[in-house]
Amino acid sequence: FRETKDHYGNISLQVVIPQVYREKILALCHEGTSSHLGVRKTKDRLLKHYFWPNCIKEIEGYVRSCDPCQRMGKGNEKVKAPLKLVPIITEVFSKMNIDAVGPLPTSSKGNNYLLTAICMSSRYPDAIPVADISSVSVTDALLEIFSKMGFPRQIQSDLGSSFTSLSTTEFFDRFGIKVTHSSVHHPQSNPVERFHRTIKRMLRVLCLESGQDWEKNLPATLLALRTITHDSTGFSPAELVHGKNLRTPEVLLYEHWVRPQEEDSTVTEYIFDLINRMRHCQELAVTTMTETRDKRKPWYDKNAVKREFRVGDLVLVLATSKPNKMAVQWTGPGVIESKLSETNYIVRMEEKNDKTQIYHINLLKPYHQRLERVNLLVNGEENQERETEELTILYRVSEPNIYDFERIKADSALEGRLSPTEIESLKQLLGRHKKIFSNDPGKTHLVEHDFELISDKSIRSKPYRTSQRQNEILKGEIKRMLDLNIIEIGQSDYASPMILVESTGRDPRPCIDYRLLNANVRTQYFPLPNIEERVERVAAAKYITVIDLAKGYWQIPLSERARRYSTFVTSFVPYLDDIAIYSENWEDHLKHVDEVLKRIGNAQLTIKPSKCKFAQNHTKYLGHIVGGGVRSPAEAKIKAVMDFPTPKTKTQIRAFLGLAGYYAHYVKIFSLIAAPLTQSLKGKIKKEGVNWTQDCNRAFTELKNRLTEIPVLHAPDYNREFIVQTDASDLGIGVVLSQRNDKGEEHPVLFLSKKFTDAQRKYGTTEKECAAIIYAITKLRYYLDGQQFTIETDHNPLVWLNSNAGANQRLMRWSLALQPFRYKVVHKAGKKHLNADALSRSDIV
């Protein structure tokens, strides 16, 4: 038995089911009198009385593969694929779509059907009444249509027998007409279907109004459709075919009243005017159709899901017609025979004598086939004795941390910074969430980590050899992860070796060498938060709480596919788990911390208490010391920069610039100081040695010295006006973004600098100053957009720009780039303009 708690907190017993009876228990809780309920309710029914390892996953698989449930389906299972844009037809009558309407009431001439055709370029419609839709009647009607429009190059129709018969196919072949067919039960692919709805409505209205049969009202209906403006083209079909619109009754009345004068022109002039007018109308129509098509796609694709089937996949087909409301919604399963396009597939249906048919992907859904169990009879004796000594792994027992507020209070140094009332309120808040504080990782149920490989070739590596001491440590860690259900013993055609990483002052930790696997992983891109923006927001807060998950990556389970790829052997990641909660006052901070802890608890994650800091005024976050409205580089990162050895290769120079460049916003003229180092990276061979000159050495030393000064930047206050100070020299650009406090003191928010390219060095003095302003506003647009700000410069380049904006394209682009911003320019003499002026000049370069 297994003890568990119900919804009311009462302890109940669950029977642990052996393997042989599990499928019968699943059938009992889902099929028959259980009425084929969904996964959640089937899970709830079974777990009230029964349990076995991995039962939840088996319940989900059993319900998903239930054949009656898949056939009956649900109302929200119809998923549409993204809209596939069709090419624009530019030549009139080169492609036509045809179809048949009927049966209609028998007309006075004995006709029951309409054969319809529409030009896909001009949307010019035609309709011929026929008595039936046999092959002979269809070809006769098509000849009548072609006598007016000419023979098209391509025709699209549905899969009706009158369009696919041998006689009709031969007719098309004789006249060199290519035929394409729409997929079954997917009228959206044939625009003539929309024409059917319109013409049938118009015929019904005219018949009701005149009392005559539909065939006598057909000419008036076609005249109306040919002379009205079409939404897709912006012109009437008659204008695109004849070069002008047809005279209709309202035009006759207008001419009778107005009596317009006829233009006197020769035949030659009329012909050339007609040709030019038709060409112009066709160009405008193509443009309008393209804009309309591109505008409709985003709206259609808003709730679309991109799907794909492979050859051999089992699928169910949507039943477009059902004999009664109790009939199944999906038929099949069928097998994908081939893929015609992104949206059309040929499916072979076994229940239709292996007949193949073309289906649109919107009519298909995957069929999950349940694995069959096979009984196997083994002749021979089974040896029940097993060697267990090699399977036994001794390890030290790790007790999870018990929630201890006194230790949290001491670690966070709350005494003296918070009042007794504030400490008591924080204690009560954390006490309500004490279950989520643990050194052992939890396991979230909200998401699974999955990844895809570029190729299906298996990746297998031999285990690395380790020392006996390392073996004992690895055994203990593996046993601990097994007990915590972080890993499981299994088999896979993929295997990566495990290694032990040991660092001074830290516990040894097991890692897996996934280099071969990572080289074969298809790159996935996830939206990551902007680090600079996060640091600024946290730095401006008064109260900050930092939370660290207990082995955060272990708390997110792998998908079944990812577990197969991630298998590791021994000799015997887009997640940001640095959580910062920041607030402006104590009451809000308590609410914010309470909300975050609730969400962590609901996700079944745990927090490591020893790595958390609560209610701090200043704290370390993402490599910065933040809080109290200011920020500065973390000392550990500065030490790493100071201890960096003198580079001897381009790879080492890139490593140093990457390490120091993370704090470029703290250093004045960073780009100009680092110019000799970046200059030394030029060359085709990336890892070749460099000529370490005195300029390189001075730049290397100067960058270290600037960071050892522990520069301090102030967090931006978006309720205050920003000040942008710019200056340019022959070397580059210097920018300072600053603000004034209540006392009128000016404090820097960040520094920017940029080295001029060879082309930019050729600019004139005023043009360089203007380039400095454009660079500053472009880089600082996240701060300045929608704000009134001040530009301080020792020149007046904007007046020059406004008077010379049309001189070349570059100045025109600069002028347009300034239009969206609201600013005022303040001239500052060079003697007073020291901040930015120093930024643009450096004796290092």
List the end-to-end C-alpha distance of the chain, in Å, as a whole number: 77
pLDDT tens digit sequence for 562-572:
888 888 887 76
3-state class of 532 per DSSP?
Answer: helix
Per residue in 633-669, pLDDT tens? 776 666 777 777 787 777 777 777 777 776 676 776 6
Give the angle 390-395-400 at the CA atoms, nearest 5°: 145
* Confidence at residue 803, expressed as pLDDT on a 0 to 100 scale: 62
Predicted local confidence at residue 397, as pLDDT: 41
Task: Give the model's confidence band at 839: pLDDT under 50 very low, under 70 low, under 90 confident, else very high.
Answer: very low
d(CA 635, CA 612): 19
What's the pLDDT tens digit per position in 463-511? 876 766 677 788 888 887 877 777 887 778 888 888 888 765 667 778 8
Cα–Cα distance for residue pair 80/101, rounded to 1 Å:
27
The pTM assigned to this predicted structure is: 0.39
CB environment 734-767: b (16+ within 10 A), e (fewer): bbbbbbeeeeeeeebbbbbbbbbeeebeebeebb
Q: Determine the 3-state secondary structure of 411 from DSSP.
A: helix
Burial class (CB in 10 A: 0-12, 13-18, 19+), 112: middle
Q: Kindly tell me the burial class for residue 130, based on how many C-beta atoms sit within 10 Å of its own C-beta (0-12, 13-18, 19 or more).
A: buried
State the DSSP string of 37-54.
--HHHHHHHHHTTEE-TT
Structure tokens at 291: 């804009």
- Residues 61-85 pLDDT 10s: 888 888 888 777 765 556 666 666 6
Q: Cβ(558)–Cβ(552) under 8 Å?
A: no
Q: Are 116 and 125 in contact (CB under 8 A)?
A: yes
Please say whether the dihedral angle defined by the alpha carbons of residues 377, 378, 382 and 388, taken in this order, is positive or negative.
Answer: negative
Query: What single string gives the DSSP state of each residue in 739-757?
Result: EE-TTS-EEEEEEEEEEPP
Tokens 């680092």 found at: 674
- What are the start-end ranges of the E strands in 249-405? 314-318, 330-339, 344-349, 355-360, 364-366
Mean pLDDT of 271-292: 66
Confidence of residue 321 (pLDDT cuts 50, 70, 90): low
Average confidence (pLDDT) over 457-465: 79
Other CB atoms within a 10 A radius of the CB of residue 801 amount to 21
Q: Determine what percent of the chain is predicted with pLDDT higher than 90.
A: 0
* Higher-scoring residue by pLDDT: 641, 747: 747
Average pLDDT, whole number, for the chain? 76
Order of strands, edge to edge, in the sheet holding 154-157?
Answer: 125-130, 113-119, 95-101, 154-157, 178-181
Rounded to the nearest 5°, which phi and psi values hold at 674?
-80, 0
CA-based diameter of the chain, in Å? 112
For residue 100, give the nearest of 118, 115, 119 by alpha carbon: 115
**% of the chain residues with pLDDT over 70:** 76
Confidence of residue 802 (pLDDT cuts 50, 70, 90): low
